[in-house]
Amino acid sequence: MRPVAPYLRGSTRRLAEEYDVALLDLDGVVYVGPDAVPGAPEALAAARAAGMRLAFVTNNAARPPHVVADHLTELGIAATASEVITSAQAAARYLGERLPGGARVLVVGTSGLEQALRERGLVPVSDATGQVDAVVQGYSPDLNWQMLAEGAVALNRGVLWVATNVDPTVPSPRGPLPGNGSLVAALRMATGREPVVTGKPDPTMHRESLLRSEANDPIVVGDRLDTDIEGANAVGCASLLVLSGVTSVRAAIEAPPKLRPSYLGSDVSALLVAHPEPRVVDGGAVCGAWQAGCTDVEGDAALILKQAAGAAASAGSDEAGAGDLDAWRALCAAAWAAFPDRGADGIRVHPDTDPGREAAGEVLGRLGLA
């Protein structure tokens, strides 16, 4: 894989032609709850037609790969079980490399973990009354007090504890709901123990994805900065942040270096376009028809957006409407250049006072920054 720096990159070719495999997060990227993200089935089919292979990578350990593949197919996204990579598989590989064959692993989760453990020659168990060699915990909508109690009993004996992820929330049509991290917190409080985390952003998950997808030059596509993007940066993999899940435009602008993506897009259709690289100039950055700069407003750092003189919208910049993505790219590039070693927490964003102020204000409004 090529080196990846924590600033926006450009690609004159469509990303589906630039990279061989898209490592796609599921929740918030491909679907939200039971429904596909609008346009995702068509965009992913077009990416395949362009020669890109797809791997569906999820921190959710609740369902076995074949169940996930069947769900994707029902949503109009052709998928096979071999293309689905779960945090349960990464956790099971981690345990399989450290425990003898036939070791008994207490499952605080559901069937996805049980199947993954059996594939590694381990024995899943559901209670702590007998021998338990390790505890593995993954997201399950059916997890209850009894499961947590059995986990606490085993953990108090000092056995290895592996969590498939510590995502605090999962997206849903009703908004964020408690994720595995919220459930892990219950056992952390009850036992004073800390788990080994093998899901994103830990490199264990990325290694599992590469082994199973056989990717040479992949790109991670995700909606979370602290799992998808941080995990990609940790292993030097290119990444595409999309807005179809939990992350906002502002969160990307304020991101510290380890959470900064390589590319920005509204959704997975961003795989089907070229991406302009913002030009970093003194005091700011230019992308397409927009220029952003970091300045001082009433004693505080602020980002100013204005129309770039003589510039035109970039090709493929209309995913989010009329060059809005170019404005977002310019704002991110300017903020990251002004704060190279830390995040731009709480930075204010304003339209410039020049004649283009109204247009800049409208763009900021659409981006949720006004």
Distances (CA, A) of 350 to 277, 303, 359, 362: 22, 6, 12, 11
Is position 230 within any domain?
yes
Cβ(252)–Cβ(332) below 8 Å: yes
Per-residue pLDDT of the chain in tens (370 residues, 90 and over written 9): 554 555 799 999 999 999 999 999 998 999 988 899 999 999 999 999 999 999 999 988 888 999 999 999 999 999 999 999 999 999 999 999 999 999 999 999 988 899 999 999 999 999 999 999 999 999 998 899 999 999 999 999 999 999 999 988 887 888 888 999 999 999 999 999 999 999 999 999 999 999 999 999 999 999 999 999 999 999 999 999 999 998 999 999 999 999 999 999 999 999 999 999 999 988 789 999 999 998 865 557 899 999 887 655 555 544 445 489 999 999 999 999 999 999 999 999 999 877 667 889 999 999 999 7
Q: What's the whole-number average pLDDT of the chain?
A: 91
Q: Which residues are annotated as catalytic?
A: 25, 27
Tokens of 178: 């408690």
pLDDT digits 0-9 by tens, 229-250: 999 999 999 999 999 998 999 9
In 3D space, the residue among 275, 256, 279 whose CA is nearest the CA of residue 266 turns out to be: 275
Q: Are both 289 and 335 inside the same structural domain?
A: yes
In 3D space, the residue among 137, 152, 367, 354 whose CA is nearest the CA of residue 243 turns out to be: 367
Q: Are both 183 and 102 inside the same structural domain?
A: yes
| Alpha carbons within 13 A on the beta-carbon side of 158 | 0
Is position 210 within any domain?
yes
Q: Are both 225 and 144 inside the same structural domain?
A: no
Domain range spanning residue 176?
Answer: 91-197
Sign of torsion over alpha carbons 73, 75, 76, 77: negative
Q: Are both 128 and 31 inside the same structural domain?
A: no
| Alpha carbons within 13 A on the beta-carbon side of 100 | 3
Tokens of 269: 């259709």
Residue where a domain terminates, one of 136, 170, 197: 197
Q: Are both 321 and 351 inside the same structural domain?
A: yes
CATH code where residue 252 lies: 3.40.50.1000
Tokens of 13: 């070719």
Strands 160-163 and 134-137, by their bridges, are parallel
**SS3 category, 185:** helix
Cβ(163)–Cβ(199) below 8 Å: yes
Is position 224 within any domain?
yes
Question: Exposed, middle or buried: residue 190 (CB in 10 Å: 0-12, 13-18, 19+)?
Answer: middle
Q: Are both 114 and 183 inside the same structural domain?
A: yes
Give the Cα separation of 312 and 24 in Å (integer). 31
Is position 86 within any domain?
no
Q: What is the total count of domains within the chain?
A: 3
Sign of torsion over alpha carbons 213, 170, 30, 9: negative
Q: Are both 173 and 117 inside the same structural domain?
A: yes
pLDDT at 320: 45
pTM of the model: 0.89
